[in-house]
Structure 1
């Protein structure tokens, strides 16, 4: 993506130049800085902002958000295949079951979402992204509502299962960004600023969340986020916390 994002005539992101490499790219920033807007533009989803520039994306894109978007009337197999079926692509039962087995839920395939914990529901959402077999997967804070243990486990599971793909993660958590990202971009003063990354795209395992180098680097990033202050107030149509405005 190359260009600028404006919101009601005001700059949201200036001089955006986001190269995507195989592995994890993490966008880090405070609420309202525009990180979710970037992700939605990459996915071709509606946004309140205006895009001025060029962007290229593959035909098939995987998507995970903080809300798992599971349908309560469908069992897990039905939820995993729903998006593909709506797109006119048929998924074999064995393929759907295999995706659930990859995330450790094969034995629960016939259950409904209301019988699952929050962490299990996000595993189903990950299985849904896996079955799309998309080269680009966009993650909009999918683990932020989980408890610390479940969150760490989901990071490790997603990192393993999405190996070899282009993954873009939006997060407000410096530990998560540094733990996962081979590329880490901080959104500050309406611009993307590259940060030193600890992870490497070829690594098979993530650092432990308590790793001293990780915690030290995350503390420095957190201090920078706090020092930057909150984003400038946006016009009334900009809704704080809205998925579209991000």
Structure 2
């Protein structure tokens, strides 16, 4: 990933539920999961340290009950962490006053959750404009902004509809538009598409990527679906029992898992969906090539073109040729013999 400024960083963040959680962390202690359990506490988030770059789609993955949603709510202080440090553009959110946190959430953070939570008595336009009304923006200005984001998510012409008149996918688009209305710097999405049927879910993923190409937000996205994570993520954090096990690109998670848990988590992923041409590229160029392809392209996207050409392709990164890839190398990935 190109070096970018850090937008959000958390250092040794904990969320422990129980009668006296702070005692477990006294003096900089790092209690084990067993020690937490034996003291009649629950370690929902354990010693998490990570950084999210500006403009990055950072996906947090884990099984149900792993702590991923609790972590995201700690990052926005919707849940109060037990300990640690959370830096947002360098400001420690754990030292911010309640009034300051309200201001940050209203003006700089956007949030979309699995349950759309649309207000049934308000139209699409009114739902989208609602957070701007809370900010105190006058009606003409907030409706103008709401119309912009309604168009952005492809719902123009439905501004006067009520939620009950919309499909599930359309309702989720309203939820996305509402969160974007405040023009957030940081966007939290907690399994926003998991309640949708597969076809609508795929459409929403494509819509999400289209919006991100335009807006380039910093995004923290929670999912339990590895295929969804592969499609969307710049990097993925795997979380287990409240602790981060590995942070890596989708490609590195699959090809270089940190331990057996990550290996099992990614075992059934189709390699051609994650392996890039840059990973397969061999240094140097043959006498002739069929063309040039970007190193970031995944095998699944370009396999047919390479194999049907029956000739090597040059591979480039950042405008520089880094080597070449052959049809045989691509076929080996497709049939599971390499990468």
Counting only pairs closer than 5 Å after superposition, residues 62-73 of structure 1 correspond to structure 2 as: 62-73=110-121
Residue 67 of structure 2 corresponds to which residue in structure 1?
34
2:132 is the counterpart of 1:84:
yes
| Structure (1 or 2) with the greater helix fraction | 2
Among 149, 156, 162, the alignment partner of 1:112 is 162
Distance 1:93 1:156 in 2: 26
Aligned length: 204
Indicate the SS of the match to 1:92. Answer: helix
Going from structure 1 to structure 2, the CA distance change for 1:159 and 1:51 (only over 3 Å counts) comes to farther
Among 130, 142, 153, the alignment partner of 2:203 is 153
Q: RCO higher in 1 or 2 (8 Å CA, sep ≥ 6)?
A: 1
Residue segments in structure 1 that go unaligned for 5+ positions in a row: 200-209, 217-246
Distance 1:99 1:196 in 2: 30
2:17 is the counterpart of 1:7:
yes
Q: Which runs of 4+ in 1 moved over 3 A?
A: 89-92
2:105 is the counterpart of 1:46:
no
Shift of 1:86: 1.4
Residue 250 of structure 2 corresponds to which residue in structure 1?
197
Residue 23 of structure 1 corresponds to which residue in structure 2?
56
Is the contact made by 1:182 and 1:198 (CA closer than 8 Å) also made in structure 2?
Answer: no
Deviations 1:115-143 (A, max 9, x none): 00000000111111221111100000010
Distance 1:118 1:18 in 2: 33
Counting only pairs closer than 5 Å after superposition, residues 172-183 of structure 1 correspond to structure 2 as: 172-183=224-235
Is the contact made by 1:179 and 1:198 (CA closer than 8 Å) also made in structure 2?
Answer: no
Structure 1 or 2, whichever has the larger Rg, is 2
The TM-score, its normalising length taken from structure 2, stands at 0.56
The TM-score, its normalising length taken from structure 1, stands at 0.76
Distance 2:272 2:15 in 1: 34
Deviations 1:210-245 (A, max 9, x none): 9762289xxxxxxxxxxxxxxxxxxxxxxxxxxxxx
Q: CA RMSD in A?
A: 2.2
Indicate the SS of the match to 2:57. Answer: strand
Indicate the SS of the match to 1:162. Answer: helix
Residue segments in structure 2 that go unaligned for 5+ positions in a row: 1-9, 19-40, 90-103, 253-268, 276-339
Going from structure 1 to structure 2, the CA distance change for 1:57 and 1:87 (only over 3 Å counts) comes to farther
